[in-house]
């Protein structure tokens, strides 16, 4: 029986949100999700979003926000704090600066964003893709990032699909960062895709036209060992699983895929 609460990254249902923001959140609650992780507010104010979440009965747990927006405007963190979010995840930036001419700038960026988030009671996390697992000086850049900053400065939000795509075992990463992994992205997929993180190292298909088409799948309908990943999360300090499916598949709508994912997880 699943022990952890389950949220969903709202990028998964972005088109539905554009058409009916409140109705989509209500549907997600009805099909079994406990919380949501935002990917934009779709022209709604913080007050409106907080009120909608209260009416629907779904918890606003976190948000993904561009690091540049957080760095340039501290009111961005305040907006999500006003909604009720406890975490903000960043990506697409700081880890890529490791080993380059702007390595020191990474320290300035991460520390400033982290301190600003703390003002509003928000914990900063780093959400990885594949390129953070590129090697630098004998280890992945993602590991360098977590070595250079303590857990009080930045926590992890491991994306299990991107880790697997690079050839690594996601359950190893879950256990490696047990002391700084409050939320975990649970994502399933099928096929082979281009990988930016040293593809030749992992023997992963490097062509943009791989022999086995790649697609995101509802949880439990792809190649990930979901029971193993959930067990690793439950053995560690993960507080919530976050389902994400970048694009719908199997002839289903995004909301149908979301329902398939939560139904599978509740069946464990």
CA 106/CA 63 separation, integer angstroms: 21
Is the confidence at residue 61, as pLDDT, over 50?
yes
Output the pLDDT for position 203.
41
For the chain, the distance separating the N- and C-terminal CA atoms, rounded to the nearest angstrom, is: 5
Q: How many domains does the chain have?
A: 1
Residue 143 included in any domain: yes
Mean pLDDT, residues 230-252 taken together: 97
Q: Tens of pLDDT along 7-29?
A: 999 999 999 999 999 999 999 99
Q: Tens of pLDDT along 169-197?
A: 999 999 999 999 999 999 999 987 666 55
Closest by CA to 220, choosing from 190, 242, 199, is: 190
Output the pLDDT for position 204.
44
Give the model's confidence band at 205: pLDDT under 50 very low, under 70 low, under 90 confident, else very high: very low
Range of the domain at 127: 6-267
Please tell me which residue, 209 or 17, carries the higher pLDDT value: 17
Structural tokens at position 84: 């009720």
Mean pLDDT, residues 42-69 taken together: 98
CA 217/CA 193 separation, integer angstroms: 14
Give the relative orientation of helices 103-119 and 75-83 as an angle to the nearest 10 degrees. 40
Residue 1 included in any domain: no
Give the model's confidence band at 94: pLDDT under 50 very low, under 70 low, under 90 confident, else very high: confident
Give the model's confidence band at 211: pLDDT under 50 very low, under 70 low, under 90 confident, else very high: low
CATH number at residue 105: 3.20.20.150
Residue 184 included in any domain: yes
Distances from the Cα of 34 to the Cαs of 8, 28, 50, in angstroms?
8, 8, 15
Residue 204 included in any domain: yes
Output the pLDDT for position 20.
98
Residue 148 included in any domain: yes
Q: 3-class secondary structure for the chain?
A: CCCCCEEEEHHHHHHHHHHCHHHHHHHHHHHCCCEEEECCCCCCCHHHHHHHHHHHCCEEEEEECCHHHHHHCCHHHHHHHHHCCCEEEECCCHHHHCCCCCHHHHHHHHHHHHHHHHHCCCEEEEECCCHHHCEECCEEHHHHHHHHCCCCCCEEECEHHHHHHCCCCHHHHHHHCHHHCCEEEECEEECCCCCCCCHHHHCCCCCCCCCCCCEEECCCCCCCCHHHHHHHHHHCCCCEEEECCCCCCCCCCHHHHHHHHHHHHHHC
Residue 83 included in any domain: yes
pTM above 0.85, yes or no: yes
CA 215/CA 193 separation, integer angstroms: 9
Burial class (CB in 10 A: 0-12, 13-18, 19+), 218: buried
Residue 179 included in any domain: yes
């Amino acid at each position: 029986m699943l022990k952890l609460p389950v949220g969903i990254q709202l990028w998964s249902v972005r088109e539905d949100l554009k058409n009916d923001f409140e109705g989509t959140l209500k549907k997600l609650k009805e099909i079994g999700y406990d919380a949501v992780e935002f990917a934009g507010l779709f022209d709604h104010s913080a007050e409106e979003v907080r009120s909608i979440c209260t009416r629907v009965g779904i918890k606003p747990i976190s948000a993904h926000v561009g690091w540049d927006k957080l760095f340039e405007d501290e009111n961005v963190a305040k907006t999500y704090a006003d909604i009720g979010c406890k975490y903000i995840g960043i990506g697409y930036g700081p880890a890529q600066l490791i080993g380059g001419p702007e390595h020191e700038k990474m320290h300035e960026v991460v520390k400033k964003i982290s301190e600003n988030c703390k003002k509003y009671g928000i914990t900063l996390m780093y959400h990885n893709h594949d390129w953070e697992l590129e090697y630098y000086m004998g280890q992945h850049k993602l590991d360098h990032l977590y070595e250079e900053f303590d857990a009080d400065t930045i926590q992890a939000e491991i994306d299990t699909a991107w880790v697997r795509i690079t050839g690594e075992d996601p359950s190893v990463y879950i256990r490696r960062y047990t002391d700084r992994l409050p939320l975990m992205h649970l994502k399933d997929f099928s096929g082979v895709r281009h990988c930016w993180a040293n593809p030749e190292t992992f023997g992963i298909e490097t062509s943009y036209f791989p022999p086995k088409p790649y697609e995101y799948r509802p949880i439990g309908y792809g190649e990930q060992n979901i029971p193993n990943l959930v067990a690793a999360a439950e053995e560690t300090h993960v507080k919530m699983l976050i389902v994400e499916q970048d694009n719908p598949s199997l002839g289903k709508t995004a909301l149908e895929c979301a329902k398939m994912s939560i139904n599978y997880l509740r069946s464990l």
